[in-house]
Amino acid sequence: MTTYQEFIQQNEGRDGVRFSWNLWPSSRLEATRLVVPVSCLFTPLKERPDLPPVQYEPVLCSRANCKAVLNPLCQVDFRAKIWACNFCFQRNPFPPSYAGISEVNQPAELMPQFSTIEYIVQRGPPAPLIFLYVVDTCLEEEDLQALKESLQMSLSLLPPNALVGLITFGRMVQVHELSCEGIAKSYVFRGTKDLSSKQIQEMLGLTKPAASGQQGRPLAPQDAAASCRFLQPVQKVDMNLTDLLGELQRDPWPVPQGKRPLRSTGVALSVAVGLLEGTFPNTGARVMLFIGGPPTQGPGMVVGDELKTPIRSWHDIQKDNARHLKKATKYYEAMANRSAVNGHSIDIYACALDQTGLLEMKCLSNLTGGHIVMGDSFNTSLFKQTFQRVFSKDYNGDFRMAFGGVLEVKTSRELKVCGAIGPCVSLNSKGSCVSENEMGIGGTSQWKVCSINPSTTLGFYFEVVNQHNAPVPQGGRGAIQFVTQYQHSNTQRRIRVTTIARNWADAQSQIQHIESSFDQEAAAVLMARLGVFRAESEEGPDVLRWLDRQLIRLFMFHLRRSPFLQVFNNSPDESSYYRHHFVRQDLTQSLIMIQPILYSYSFYGPPEPVLLDSSSILPDRILLMDTFFQLVIYHGETIAQWRKAGYQDMAEHEVFKLLLQAPLDDAQEILQTRFPMPRYIDTEHGGSQARFLLSKVNPSQTHNNLYAWGQETGAPILTDDVSLQVFMDHLKKLAVSSSA
Amino acid sequence: MNVNQHTPMASPYGQPQPGYSQPGYVPLDGGYPGPYAPYNGPASPYQPGAPPQGISGPARGPPTTGPLPVSAPHQYNQYSHSQGDMQNGPPPMTQAQPRPPVSQPYNPGAMNMSGPHPTYPQHYGPPPTMQQVSNQMSGMQITSGPPTPAGPGYAPPHSSQPPVSTAYSAPPPPSYTQAPPPVSSAPTQPPPPSGPAASQQYYGSPPPPSQQPFNSSLPPTSQQQFTSSSVPPPPSQQTLPPSSYSGPAPPPGQAPAPPVSQPQQSFPPSQPPPTSQPAFTPGPPPTAPGSFTPQAPPPSSQSGSFPPPGPPPTSAPSCQYPGPLPPQQQPPPSQPFPYHSGPPPPRAQMPPTSMAQSNHLPPGPQGPPGPPGPLQQPPSQPGMQTGYPPQQNGAFGQVRGPQPGYAGPYPGQPNYGAPAPAPAPAPPAQKRLDPDAIPSPQASDMPAVQKSRHRIDPDAIPSPIQVIEDDKAKSTEPFTTGVRGQAPPLVTTNFQVKDQGNASPRFVRCTAYNMPCTADMAKQSQVPLAAVVKPLAMLPPDETPPYLVDHGEGGPIRCNRCKAYMCPYMQFIEGGRRFQCGFCSCVTEVPPHYFQHLDHTGKRVDCYDRPELSLGSYEFLATVDYCKNNKLPQPPAFIFLIDVSYNAVKSGMVNIVCQELKTLLDYLPRENPEMDSAVRVGFVTYNKVLHFYNVKSSLAQPQMLVVSDVSDMFVPLLDGFLVNVNESRLVIESLLDQIPEMFADTRETETVFGPVIQAGLEALKAADCAGKLFVFHTSLPIAEAPGKLKNREDKKLIGTDKEKSLFQPQVGFYNTLAKECVAQGCCVDLFLFPNQYVDVATLGVVPVSTGGSVYKYTYFQAQLDQERFLNDLRRDVQKLVGFDAVMRVRTSTGIRATDFFGSFFMSNTTDVELAGLDCDKAITVEFKHDDKLSEETGALMQCAVLYTSCSGQRRLRIHNMAVNCCSQLADLYRNCETDTIINFFSKYAFRGVLNNPTKAVRDTLVNQCAQILACYRKNCASPSSAGQLILPECMKLLPVYLNCVLKSDVLLPGADVSLDDRAYLRQLISCMDVTETHVFFYPRLLPLMKLESGSLPVAVRDSEERLSKGGVYLLETGLHLFLWVGASVQQELLLNIFGTPSFGQIDSSMTSLPVLDNPFSQRLREIIDSFRAQRSRYMKLMVVKQEDRAELIFRHFLVEDKSASGGASYVDFLCHMHKEIRQLLS
């Protein structure tokens, strides 16, 4: 018998699923007592190089409200050519094409190793990928130049048949027509005017076909032609677009002293969304928004153009002093929803030293599965490489991205789904397996995930609805099926089906088994997601209190201190950014985010992970901290002095050189795979950037207790935060008193 | 009179005045040279008069080469020269005389009006007695001698060249008349010694010589009269020679004839000179015959002139008439006489003068044309010559009278006549003609009129052509503006202007140069008091444009109270330390830097060094205080907005515009021809959406920016939209090349309009400058956008009370927009290319309110209309224009400017705001009394226009004008200008249709006109029978012109006139100056049978009966140009003009005449070109063949005839007017 550890890893490797409990309490009452709900992290498009897709349609249960897919858990009567649905117990005949089926000739979907299987289906004409660049021109010359280069470079990464479009904006919004020869044409919109989708399409001349259609002329060709003016195959307009990008100028309107440039981000997005809505609804498309500052005019304005009015801070928000916040948020949410309905995702690449309004705009990406990348400048490798990585390809040479995903969850009768947390929106599909008890985005059994990449991970929360007095028969298994339909980056439509089953256990008699099936990491992440989800919509302290009431483990100490729940020291934009990534990364990455990893390099042995504690900060060590967003290399005091003295350059100190090199190599390895690129920081004892490390470690030594402890080890942290020790003490006290 | 007026001016003027007389001249020359030297040739102007003559002599000389003609001219020349040579004194006289005519002519008119009548009679009485007889019949005295020879002489030519002869015949008379005048003048001069005193009064001291002769001949008492009567003639004579040549020279003789006749009349008085006659007669007779045949034009005129003499013999005329009417004629005379019975003889005498005024002669010539023929016909051709005499003589008039027997032909007239006759059966109720008013000098006309009582003889009623030609004849000398209250020559006359303290008539023309002193008088007379100001008018090359004065940082010196700018009316006092404002009398300190000592006359020593102290028009450099936002303006910008919808592309408009702009952009207005224009340009195309173009010089290719959000227009770019042409030339050319291609396949038919203007406006706002939009538009803007319009053309509304709504804008949007445009200094010029109704009334709102222009090319076809459009466009782009202008008219206490008409916007009651003001725009200003004026100071007005020049300089243009004030109504009527009054009336009426039913507007006009004339009759005219129509000399054309206004398409539309056309005309006329309204309402109709280089044929009246079937005529209205070809035109003419021998082969769709290598064709094309050059809009040539369908359009412009839309004929209207007047009087 394998250990749960192995079981869990095996399941994760095969199905991309991590459950908080791997044995399920068989009654509602018992499940509630466990505090951590039955829930899972699911990575729908987990990369499976070993899983070749099959080229036929899945077989569906014929019950109208079930439609579960034939899977290895189904009972099959090979002679009668009948299979029984394991969710609704409907008996279904196999379709004619399965006539040859027998016990020795089973289709793949019936084999246990194919609990996850992918179908390629033929539905409609293949839709091209669409990339619509929405570029802010209110940038510094240097930034704009870097951005232009990145964009030009990206053209070479796109598949030749992908459609590209370009919208630039500043005070005005320009939609560039790419098809014309000679004169470069663009349609211009005023940056202050909120336009409906219909108006935008009319103004872009996209509704014309309708008019001529009345004359009985076919729509299709014109439709295509019309949209083609703005969205053209890369191969056709490559040169044109490169030139066009090259000629892009900074926004020419003068910016008076003491003002911000007028940036019509809201209208630009509205035009982009409207354009795609009108031309390619329900086709995979990415709107890629590049901004160098906050929207300062028109709908979606985040801050006025007066420089003397700073952009809102958490303080302002808490004081209800952010005038544009609600309006802008509402505006972008509406836009995100429209975009999501059509299956278009929106990426935000924000590079500026100040905030850019991510707080208001985050939903654009959160709801549509888009990326958010935050940096200081477009002229940094952080942006350049991250952007390049968006277009990374898998082992088949296909983009690591999929579009227009619809994820459906089916459960066996004892379970109902409460909700999902991740880059998705509800499709409001009520069904028998939908719980009234909402956790995350609930009330539905289907979610739309406009853009999915292999690491996109959603948290699903379930509820055991089996009543205590109707026990599940011994050995009974509960089943959950995830059906993900999506548009593959090679334009194929695919369906991936993952069916998993877990045993039911009676909590009273088998409590130890259940306990041992607990997946601490998964539970931690899942609970953290719940916390973040709440933090987004509720007051910070309430969330903490809620969290405290829940089961608390070690990591909770770090979670409480993390930027996902704490806004102190973070701008609203940063908080949004961190949370955005937290709810979509897979378990490993999520854990890193909650509790950064700290490696220590020294002459005393190979690199070793050390406690995230101030006591780990020693003069003769090099520390490598990975917080997911930052990668910090910290040279201890002594090491730093040595390095300054140039020992590494001396032949006799070859070892020192190697020591210095080791963390760099490891960091490079992480940088290679991480998306988005973490901020890479190389610092030393006393360096200003050392704050990144000091703010993360457990303040076991602070200025308050340093002398009391009187120890030489570690570095004191100047903070009033409680240390883990204090926290634990407090917890224990609480636990006793509460039980009392 | 003049002298008195002078007083206001700087004393120098006073001196000059005397200068008018010979003595005066000398001083002028001497005095002016110093001060004026800088401005213009000093006294030279005066002298020029003389030289011209000499020149003319030589000029004629050539023609003289012709056998006979030569002789005649020579004589002329000789005379003039001889005079000069003969008597040192005399020469000046001759010179002086010319002037007197100028001023005098008015007097005569006035005279006739009021007191004159009595005087006239006297004058005439005396001289006529003897000569009269002959005079009456022929050209007066002259006739006697020459007549016989002339008669024969003519006869031969005619016979030799039948067709030509007819033409000739007509012309000759005129020439004759002219000829005679000189003769008479010559004779007159000799006499001078006798009557100097009298003459002096009129002319000033000098004139005497000329007058003297007259006086001598005439009773001394009559001097005044004489002068009056004689005056006109002399000028005409002198002037005529040159002018007459040009005029008469042309074969059309007919037209010219009339004018000639006048001169003749004038001669009559001078006739006494008969002595001279001999010389003449001898010369002429021989010349006439020979000359005629050889040199058609010149000789004809000359010969013609001579011939008239022939006609004089009453018998001769009769003979001529005889053919057709002879019998009648004679009888009529007798009959008329009966009417005149009492007066006959005197009348006869009287008539001549009146005749001259009324242009009786013309009729004669006209007679020849077909229709009138029956009546006048006979006389016409042969009679032409003879005819003239008759005109002068009452007898002839009578003759026509009988013709009037037309009764048949003019059925309508009877009606009118009916009323008239009733009162005075004997006296036909025509103009001045009084049957009873024997005494009245004008009586001469009377007789003719009398005949008409039943049916009026069109020849007997005042002829515009006659008046025009008379005025031309008078105006040989430069017109100097130094004399207050002096009416300038008519707009139809070519003359040079010398600015001596009042604005040139090219800048300002007034309806009255003698304003009534009190409001009561003004109200009583009903004469509108108005000025037509054309602030940026272009001056001919021989006149100096206004000088630019810089008063330094403090800006122009102004009166402290009324803020009037420094001008010649400011009186410096206290040794020059302060000045008293001529407008409000307030005393203001002279700033130290402007101080200057006064000389002994109280004038500043530097008076002549400073334009603002000595000239009527000049400019000040404005300081920053005069600028918007206290910021010096940016150079203006031109934005071209081109419709690229289906229609625009298909008609070829887009292509033409783009091609043209490539070269036209090199001709943007600039002040210094050496420099590049400072004007920046921008381009927009549009259909349902707008396309802006970035043509920044750094771009390899232009960029197009499409703005589809037409509901909320904005400018999508800043940098690169407005560019310097030279810097961005390549990009612009590339753009203009590509625009036609880009839209070649467009299927978009809908357009917007409001947003187009908004776009231009926003662009100018963004660039923070003023400028002009050139909008090329094709169709009714029905696309969804602000300013969207619907088709509301509803012919059923015409004639109803709702008709006015058709002239009002359909939506209020454009009014608001116009206001914004004006605030920014955004002038809009609209070029329309409609294929159907586009609602000009609404689309024109913005152009009209911003000082822009509307051009309309209905059914535009690239081939046919390209030339017209391109010429208009070129002119429009290149012409001098000012931006962001504000005009303010200040007046002396007692009157004030109360109303303004033109293309502008007013946000208060005093400031006329013009986003753009170009050199073709005129503004009519109406004045009302708010107190009494004094005769001593007269009435002053100062029109100040603050504007930004095309180079971005802020300037003030000042025009000063002083007129006299009078306490006698007669003075008022003596110094009016009918053309200006018509200009005012038309604008007044055309604005009235916005708010009143058209019929009410027409009635108002008729009433006011009747009141004006009735007031004159009641207060100024000598007592006469009620049935007599007496018109003031200066206003004798008021009825005919007013009728033209009433018949215009705006006030009385025909069935085929579209609402757009009416709205278009309405807007167009609102900013026309007097020259343009004149030719618009009374088109110029030139007979082309004979052409001379250097002069134009004398025009004929706008009536079908003046057209000869065998002739070719050119008709010009300022907007249209027709070449009418008679059905039986001579082959030779056709060959010369069209290069085809057959009438049927003429291609009536041609828009330009073939270039043929013969003098006739060259000259004709020259004439056409010169006409086009004179007008602000290019006239497309339409060839109209008689009895062709297109003739209907042409006939529309024969304004003396009944119009198809129901407009009255001249005669009918005159009768109607007479009736109205009589009703008022009773």
What pLDDT digit, counting tens, does each position of B949-1002 carry? Answer: 988 899 999 999 999 999 999 999 999 999 999 999 999 999 999 999 999 999
Residue of B nearest to A212 (CA): B747
**CA nearest B714 in A: which residue?**
A190
pLDDT on residue B150: 37
Neighboring chain B residues of A199 at a CB cutoff of 8 Å: 709
Q: Please report the pLDDT score of residue A368 as a whole number.
A: 92
Between B704, B718, B735, which is nearest A185 by CB?
B704
Continuous segment of H or E residues that includes residue B544 = none
Is the torsion defined by CA of A147, A149, A153, A158 positive or negative? positive
Residue of B nearest to A250 (CA): B719
Q: Phi and psi of B941, rounded to 5°? A: -140, 145
Under an 8 A CB cutoff, do A193 and B706 touch?
no
- The chain A residues in contact with chain B (CB within 8 A) are 172, 174, 177, 182-190, 193, 195, 199, 202-205, 247, 252-254
pLDDT band at residue B44 under the 50/70/90 scheme: very low
The predicted structure's pLDDT at residue B1: 40
Give the separation between CA B396 and CA A496, rounded to whole angstroms. 117
Pick from B705, B735, B738: CB nearest A186:
B705
Q: Is the pLDDT assigned to residue A228 strictly greater than 80?
A: no
Contact B160, B304 (CB under 8 A): no
Burial of residue A651 (number of CB atoms within 10 Å: 0-12, 13-18, 19+): exposed
Is the distance from CB of B925 to CB of B889 less than 8 angstroms?
yes
How far lies B465's CA from each of A207, B260, B359, in Å? 64, 10, 8
With contact defined as beta carbons under 8 Å apart, do A186 and B704 qualify? yes
CA distance B916 to B881: 7
DSSP string over A110-175: GSGGGSEEEEEE--SSPPPPEEEEEEE--S-HHHHHHHHHHHHHHHHHS-TT-EEEEEEESSEEEE
| Residue A224: its H or E element | helix A220-228
Chain B residues lying within 8 Å of A193, measured CB to CB: 709, 712
Cβ contact, residue pair B701, A252, below 8 Å = no
Measured between CB atoms, does B666 come within 8 Å of chain A? no
Nearest CA in chain B to A180: B742
Q: Do residue B742 and residue A247 have CB atoms under 8 angstroms apart?
A: no
- Asked whether the whole model's pTM tops 0.80, one would answer no
B476-503 pLDDT per residue, tens: 889 999 888 889 999 999 999 999 999 9
Indicate the residue type of B542: D
User: Which of B712, B719, B738 has its CB closest to that of A183?
Assistant: B738
Q: How much is the pLDDT for B131? A: 37
Tens-place pLDDT, residues B371-398? 333 333 333 333 333 333 333 333 333 3
SS3 B436: coil
For chain A, say whether B704 makes contact (Cβ under 8 Å).
Answer: yes
Q: Do B703 and A185 touch (CB under 8 A)?
A: yes
CA dist B816 → A164, A612, B846, B882, B906 (Å): 43, 72, 9, 23, 13
Distance CA B164, CA A188 (A): 71
Q: Are B1089 and B1111 in contact (CB under 8 A)?
A: yes
Return the ∠ at Cα A700 (arms to A697 and A706), rounded to 5°.
125
- Say yes or no for a CB contact (<8 Å) between B701 and A183: yes
Which among B689, B718, B742 has the least Cβ separation from residue A183? Answer: B742
> d(Cα B169, Cα B164) in Å, to the nearest integer?
8
What pLDDT does B378 receive?
Answer: 36
Residue located via tokens 């649905």: A85
- In this complex, which of A172, A184, A204 lies closest to B703 when CB atoms are compared? A184
- Beta-carbon separation of A190 and B699 below 8 A: no
Q: What is the 3-state secondary structure (H, E, C) of B773-814?
A: EEEEECCCCCCCCCCCCCCCCCHHHCCCHHHHHHCCCCCCHH
What is the β-pairing status of strands A82-84 and A75-77?
antiparallel
pLDDT digits (tens, 9 = 90+) for A437-495: 999 999 999 999 999 989 899 999 999 988 877 777 777 888 999 999 999 888 888 99
DSSP states along B363-430: HHHHSSSTTTHHHHHHIIIIIHHHHHHHHHSHHHHHHHTTGGGGGSS-SHHHHHHTTTTTT-SSS-S-
H or E element in which residue B954 lies: strand B954-966
Here the tokens at position B1072 are: 């026309």
Please write down the long-range contacts of A330-334, taking CB distance under 8 Å and 24 or more positions apart: A331/A194, A331/A266, A331/A299, A331/A300, A331/A360, A332/A266, A332/A269, A332/A300, A332/A360, A332/A361, A332/A363, A332/A364, A333/A363, A333/A367
Q: Cα–Cα distance between B183 and B240 in angstroms, integer?
A: 12
Which amino acid is present at B592? P
Q: Tell me if chain A has a CB within 8 Å of the CB of B605.
A: no
Bond prior to A676 in cis (omega within 30° of 0): yes
Distance CA A11, CA A18 (A): 7
Distance of CA B251 to the CA centre of its chain: 24
Q: Do A182 and B735 touch (CB under 8 A)?
A: no
* Closest-approach residue (CA) in chain B for A249: B719
| pLDDT given for residue B888 in this prediction | 95
Q: What is the mean pLDDT of residues B1093-1105?
A: 88
Query: DSSP letter string over A582-607?
Result: HTTS-HHHHHHHHS-EEEEEETTEEE
Mean pLDDT within B1059-1065: 92
Inter-residue contact A19 to A519 (CB < 8 Å): yes
SS3 B1066: helix
Report residue B1082 as tokens: 């009374």
Structure tokens of A459? 């948290």
pLDDT bracket for residue B1155 (50, 70, 90): very high
Residue A185 with chain B: CB contacts under 8 Å: 691, 703-706
Whole-number Å distance between alpha carbons of B818 and B824 = 10
Put simply, the answer to whether A187 touches B705 (Cβ < 8 Å) is yes
B701 vs chain A: nearest CA distance in angstroms? 6
Crossing angle, helix B223-230 and helix B116-124, to 10 degrees? 90
- Considering only CB atoms, which chain A residues are within 8 Å of B738? 182-183
**pLDDT at site A713:** 56
Mean residue pLDDT across chain B: 71
The answer to whether the CB atoms of B719 and A252 lie below 8 A apart is: yes
State how far residue A233 is from chain B, nearest Cα, in angstroms.
Answer: 22
A184–B701 C-beta distance less than 8 A:
yes
Residue partners of B577: CB distance under 8 A and separation at least 6: B589, B590, B595
Separation of alpha carbons B292 and B294, rounded Å = 6
Please tell me the predicted confidence (pLDDT) of residue A50: 86
Place of tokens 């012409």: B879
Provide Rg for chain A, Cα atoms.
28
Q: What are the Cα distances from residue A570, in Å, to A562, A566, A590, B244?
A: 10, 8, 19, 99
> Which of B12, B277, B10 is closest to B131 using CA atoms?
B277
* Residues making up chain A, counted from first to last: 740
Proportion of chain B above pLDDT 90, given as a percent:
44
CB atoms within 10 A of CB B616: 26
Which residues are CB-contacts of B86 (< 8 A; sequence separation ≥ 6)? B189
Q: Write the single-letter amino acid at B25.
A: Y
Which DSSP symbol is given to A296?
-
Q: What are phi and psi of A481, to 5 degrees?
A: -120, 130
Q: What are phi and psi of A443, to 5 degrees?
A: 75, 20
DSSP state of B1111: -
Q: Which residue of A has its CA nearest to B705?
A: A186
Task: Give ipTM to 2 decimals.
Answer: 0.84
B763: which residues sit within 8 A by CB, 6+ positions away? B637, B639, B682, B692, B715, B721, B722
Give yes or no for residue A309 having a pLDDT over 80: yes
Share of chain B above pLDDT 70, in %: 63
CA B625 to chain centre: 39
Partner-chain contact A187 B718, CB within 8 Å: no
pLDDT at B988: 95
- Residue A568: what pLDDT? 80
Q: Could you report how far apart the first and last alpha carbons of chain B are, in Å?
A: 34
Within A636-678, where are the H helices? 637-645, 654-673
N-terminal to C-terminal alpha carbon distance within chain A: 41
The C-alpha of B838 sits at a distance from chain A's nearest C-alpha, in angstroms, of 24
Judge contact between B1114 and B1169, C-beta under 8 A.
Answer: no
pLDDT at B1078 over 80: yes
CB-based contacts of A335, cutoff 8 Å, min separation 6: A269, A270, A273, A300, A364
- Read off the tokens for A730: 């407090």
